[in-house]
Structure 1
Amino acid sequence: MVNLGEVFPNFTASTSEGTITFHDWIGDSWAILFSHPADYTPVCTTELARVVKLGPEFKKRGVKLIALSCDDVESHKGWGKDVIAFADCKMDKLPYPIIADEKRELAVKLGMLDPDERTKEGLPLTARAVFIIGPDKKLKLSILYPATTGRNFNELLRVVDSLQLTATKKVATPVDWQQGDSCMVLPTVSKDEAAKLFPKMEVKSLPSGKEYLRYTPQP
């Protein structure tokens, strides 16, 4: 299992687009690795189709996408045609690769197995993991869903917006934040520095009298 802030493990793997070495594939981009229990399964197909639809939004943010499933490359390629048809998009192949993890080596290494959901052979299914990795190859976010629950990829876009903003600005994003909403000034920023950096800052009055809820328009 990888902890936040740690360098994400590098690996070489076969994918639907050929063999890759993960860190080289990321390059200087952000990346999202999202895993799936199996090819030709209903929830997974809806997820991959949603990612096809949202591909341009992730591309605008400089984010590369890569999926993983515990089936072989040929299965991935065939499944990709179903995904494209379900997404109702005109393209010859998926706009992102799918890693083949037939031996479940990556699923085990990255802590992605679902103990409660198994294949007909009795093997544990890969859970629906999401890893967001920065250009520095460090893990910025991880979410682990059970095999039975589909993910919300609009939420992942929102998270990417927050991660990219807070990576360079001294702010945090509050509950339910969306792109363009007000942000919170970090507690580590002194009062004097905050006044200089965020001239439109507003401090919320609280019963404690402590001035820690400091809002500012999105930098």
Structure 2
Amino acid sequence: MEQPQETINYMPRIGDQAPDFTAKTTKGDITLSEYAQDKWIVLFSHPADFTPVCTTEMSGFATRKAEFDTLNTELLGLSIDSIHAHLGWVNNVKNNTGVYFDFPIIADLDMKVSKLYGMLQPNESETAAVRAVFFIDPKKKIRLIMYYPLNVGRNMDEILRALEALQTSDKYSVAMPLDWKKGDKVIVPPPKTLSEMEDRLKDDTVERVDFYLAKKSL
């Protein structure tokens, strides 16, 4: 007897166009394809409102929002909660800590967006989104994806570092070495022909380990 085929949930990949959607948020309805034109978007999910780890994470995004603004980036949160729960949580955190979540948070009660972006991972939870982060460029292409389990909070320094690295790489057509941060040297593209290799070996304007590994300051 033929066995039924296993259902495979869609998981967006780096390089894919970000799946489009229209959703209700704490700042009104948003359609992704029309949102934040000419800007980057950091789309991130949290498991649930009024929970401790999520509160620390959302507060982290809120307190460092100015840094995302400087990097021409809009924040867009999400959880499988109602708009009323979102509003209550935003107000609760503001009253208790003074931190205001001044960015849209998607109310994904029907789990439409969570399913589109592979945020529901059954071996972790079938009803709560994992801690996912999607870096979406101004052309609405997914450039980087981070997934964290329910019990481990994200690192805001790394999110900002990765965002700045992507933008710097695009601007200067370079790559970033291990632990790169703003001000560090970047990696120049390796030669692709013998003549380019010979030129690289004679190039004194870069810090050369060998022809295939060379760095420079921007």
Same fold (TM over 0.5): yes
Q: Which structure dedicates a bigger proportion of its chain to strand? A: 1
Structure 1 segment 171-186 matched on structure 2, within 5 A: 171-186=174-189
- Contiguous gaps of at least 5 residues in structure 1: 206-210
Q: Residue in 2 aligned with 1:103? A: 110
- Show the 5 A alignment for 1:134-149: 134-149=137-152
Structure 1's 36 and 168: CA in aligned 2 closer, same or farther, altered over 3 A?
Answer: same
Give the AA of the match of 1:67: G
Instruction: Determine helix, strand or coil for the equivalent of 1:179.
Output: coil
Return closer, same or farther for 1:203/1:154 CA change in 2, 3 Å cut-off.
same
Alpha-carbon distance in 1 for matches of 2:96, 2:42: 22
Please report the RMSD computed on the Cα atoms of aligned residues, expressed in angstroms. 2.1
Higher deviation after alignment, 106-115 or 169-178: 106-115
**Matched residue of 2:128: which SS?**
strand
Q: 2:206 aligns with which of 198, 201, 209?
A: 201
**The one of 46, 61, 65 aligned to 2:56:** 46
Q: Matches of 2:163 and 2:199 in 1, distance apart?
A: 27
Indicate whether 1:76 and 2:86 are aligned.
Answer: yes
Kindly indicate whether the alpha-carbon contact (under 8 Å) linking 2:19 and 2:116 is maintained by their aligned counterparts in 1: no
Distance between the aligned counterparts of 1:87 and 1:195, measured in 2? 57
Unmatched tracts of structure 2, length 5 or more: 1-10
Q: Is this contact kept in 1: 2:187–2:213, CA < 8 A?
A: yes
Give the CA deviation at 1:24: 1.0
In structure 2, C-alpha distance between the alignment counterparts of 1:199 and 1:132, rounded to whole Å:
36
Does the C-alpha gap of structure 1 residues 159 and 172 become closer, same or farther in structure 2, counting only changes over 3 Å?
same
Instruction: Kindly indicate whether residue 14 of structure 2 is the aligned counterpart of residue 4 of structure 1.
Output: yes
**Aligned AA (1:128):** R
The two structures have a TM-score, normalised by structure 1, of 0.86
SS at structure 2 position matched to 1:165? helix
Range with bigger deviation, 57-66 or 101-110: 101-110
**How many Å separate the matches in 2 of 1:192 and 1:178?**
30
Whole-Å Cα distance in 1 between the matches of residues 97 and 143 of structure 2?
29
The verdict on how the C-alpha distance between 1:77 and 1:201 changes in structure 2, with shifts beyond 3 A counting, is same
In structure 2, the residue matched to 1:158 is: 161
Between 136-145 and 180-189, the greater mean CA deviation after superposition: 180-189
CA deviation digits over 1:137-181, x for unaligned, max 9? 000100111111110111111011110011121211100111000
Q: Could you tell me how far 1:83 is from its partner in structure 2?
A: 3.1
Map Cα deviations across residues 23-45 of structure 1 (whole Å, 9 max, x no partner): 21121100000001111111000
The TM-score normalised by the length of structure 2 is 0.86
Equivalent of residue 60 in structure 1, options 34, 55, 70: 70
